[in-house]
A = this chain, B = another copy of it.
Amino acid sequence: MMRPLVLAVLFLSTAAVAASSPPHHPLDPLSAAELSAVRAAVLASPLVPARPLSFHYVGLDEPDKPDVLSYYAAASTSSPAALPQRHAFVIARAGGQSHELLVDVTNATATVLSHAVHRGAGFPSITDADQAAAMALPPQYAPFVASVRWRGLDVGDVACGVVSRGWFGASQPDYGGARVAKMVCAVVGDGDGAATANVYARPLEGVTLVVDLDRMAIVGYEDTGVRPVPKAQGTDYRADKVGPPFTGPETKPGVVVQPEGRGFHIDGHVVRWANWEFHVAFDMRAGTVISLASVYDADAGKWRRVLYRGFVSEIFVPYMDPDEDWYFRTFIDAGDYGLGVSAVPLLRGADCPANAAYMDGVYLDAAGEPVTSEDVICVFERYAGDIAWRHSDPYMQITEVRPDVTLVVRMVVTVGNYDYILDWEFKTSGAIKLAVSLTGMLEMKATAYTDAGQIKVDAHGTLVAENTVGVYHDHFVTYRLDLDVDGTSNSFVKNTLVQMRNTGDSGTGTPRRSYWTVRREVAETEADARVDVNGAPPAELLFVNPARRTAVGNEAGYRVVPAGATAASLLADDDYPQRRASYTKKQVWVTPYNRSEKWAPGLYAEQGTGDDSLAAWSSRDRRIRDEDIVLWYTVGLHHVPYQEDFPVMPTVSGGVELRPANFFERNQLIGTRPPSEFTYQNCSCGAAAM
């Protein structure tokens, strides 16, 4: 990303920044007022004269890390700390080009600082405006109308949506470098209103359009033939269509009551709870961004940094059907659409429990209008009935138990059919657990099959209902985690468990023939830190701070502990989608801190080639020992659909835990109050609110 400094006053664009509720933390997301000022500054700038101009990304351009750390250090000593300059980074489309702008929003007047045109491969995200405008095109396109009528339907019964065509090199037409995408369609009505809201269950199989999103015109079309449209019956998921009667399993309701009130405090974007403090922000591409997460060390009497900044960098969802209508479905959700843009309002009391607090997010739509996503992040204390630690000693008649309470920061990102529940769970043990839960709908393919016994070739999926195949696919959710374990200078350690023989001269002479021990290796360069967590022999992976040792001389560290969902990509290395997300062959990568290395498949991920991706950066084999280093962790799931996934999927989960490892002198929870002080009686609720 080039950032030339433009000095001539003549070229500065200015716009007023509203003074209301100014951000007061350097990592606070851009406010609606700042966003509006960005829009005005960009549109007033002579640097991008082409129109129309659409905004595809506007977000806080992360301040330089040393500036943030200085600010943070000064703030904690109660000295007045000057906020670093606030900049917005903008990607806009105009004149058939992708434009990068840096806009200063520090002052009342917003100023365009720099501008560059993207010359490489790939495009910015597909916007809601792209979708809305493109949806209107097929009904005006004669071949599409013919295809629909050939299937005995009306164009009013069908709706189409834009999906990335991926990148397949010269195997796909270039369209003169235009920003093109595919469109796939579904049957949404039966002539007299919507027969089902589950559009994914009734695809209009065989019809694919190619749309030029900048000219907003259909430029390609294919109809590979009629397949039956799966029936609507049994596909809906709306409560008022499913029942009454509701025949599903009956459970009694439960409400978490906090008799002493909530345990967390939200001050602007800073959350404080138990022994944790962190900053929560919203970004239109990353969704939730957690920054400056620090844990209180009761023995040392001070706050210690764990995570400087963490967010979901990308969600790669390749489908495993190589046929004409499906081969390109290799979604890269953050880059193609934006996770923050796709985040949905949380349903209070259902997506999050009754004791949750909510935060909004705001971003600019394509036209540059601020859009507020209400209730897009929730924060709640979880009382799952788990145990934090316990011990019974029957001989001494001792029982000590400490129930566990955790803090969850949740966002739900719905990208088309799939709903991703993305949780950051903070534990009083000092651990942070990142969890990905998947639900929503399968992506389904219409087929003539009505019985699995009819299938004689590879159907690339499971017959989940009549005429309906749930196509095989993968999910790879990649986190960028700039861990700063008690400071910025860290190392990456692999502690491999190796079998040792205890025989002969090198043995101890006891009858034991073997045991395992730990062989410690410190990664020198990036090549040492590409890890398949399912490999053998097993290894524990840590970020350590070599300059911080405990009282008994162990290096302070945090361990990276996979928590299920450790699938790695099975695509061939030379396959186009795999080249774009080649990092998905290993769950763990470590790179030196680089502010521009944020998005695992690259900044321009939509139709990107992977030339500017995590694996490409890592191939530079840079030094990562005693450096400011970043962890990239990918949660992976292979999905073979089953009928239980139809018409909606029961939630499945996986993730990773960052767990203190010789970070503390001892278990921080040894000093927690026993539960006898917390026994409440007479807990009840008033009448149900219907």
Contact = CB atoms under 8 A, between A and B. Distances in A.
Contact of A650 (B388, B414, B497, B552): B388
Contact of A263 (B250, B322, B390, B421): B250
A142 interface: no
Given A246-B673, A685-B257, A323 B388 contact: no
A571 B643 contact: no
Nearest to A688: B680
A234 to B, nearest CB: 7
Interface in A418-468: 419, 421, 427-431, 437, 439-441, 449-454, 458, 460, 462-466
Given A382-B385, A647-B667, A677-B690, 13 more contacts: A194-B396, A247-B298, A256-B385, A321-B515, A322-B510, A322-B515, A350-B403, A353-B403, A516-B570, A643-B664, A643-B666, A677-B688, A679-B689
Contacts of A684: 257, 259, 683-685
Instruction: In the A-B complex, list the 7 residue pairs whose CB atoms are closest, starting with the nearest.
Output: A682-B686, A171-B511, A248-B671, A252-B263, A452-B553, A254-B383, A514-B572
Interface in A363-401: 380-394, 396, 398-401
A550 interface: yes
A644 interface: yes
Contacts of A401: 347, 350-351
25 contacts: A239-B676, A249-B672, A251-B263, A255-B257, A322-B515, A323-B510, A324-B508, A327-B502, A349-B679, A350-B401, A351-B401, A386-B651, A387-B439, A388-B651, A392-B412, A431-B650, A460-B517, A466-B552, A499-B570, A516-B570, A642-B662, A643-B662, A644-B662, A679-B690, A683-B683
B251 A451 contact: no
A489 interface: no
A146 interface: no
A552 B512 CA distance: 56
Interface string A532-572: 00101110100000000111111000010011100100111
Contact of A460 (B396, B515, B552, B645): B515
A38 interface: no
Interface stretch (A11-19, A478-486, A573-581): A573-581
A638 interface: yes
Copies of this chain assembled into the complex = 2
A674 interface: yes
A651 B668 CA distance: 12
Contact of A666 (B249, B381, B465): B465
A184 interface: no
Contact of A419 (B254, B392, B472, B678): B392
Given A327-B508, A510-B322, A439 B389 contact: yes
Nearest to A416: B393
A661 interface: yes
Contact of A675 (B256, B350, B396): B350
A687 B538 CA distance: 51
Interface string A219-260: 000000000000000100111001100111111111111111
A583 interface: no
Given A169-B511, A390-B439, A412-B392, A666 B689 contact: no
B678 A688 contact: yes
Contacts of A664: 643-644
Q: Which of A263, A381, A552 has the most CB of B within 10 A?
A: A552
Contacts of A449: 552
A680 B672 contact: no
A25 B690 CA distance: 42
B249 A296 contact: yes
Contacts of A677: 688, 690
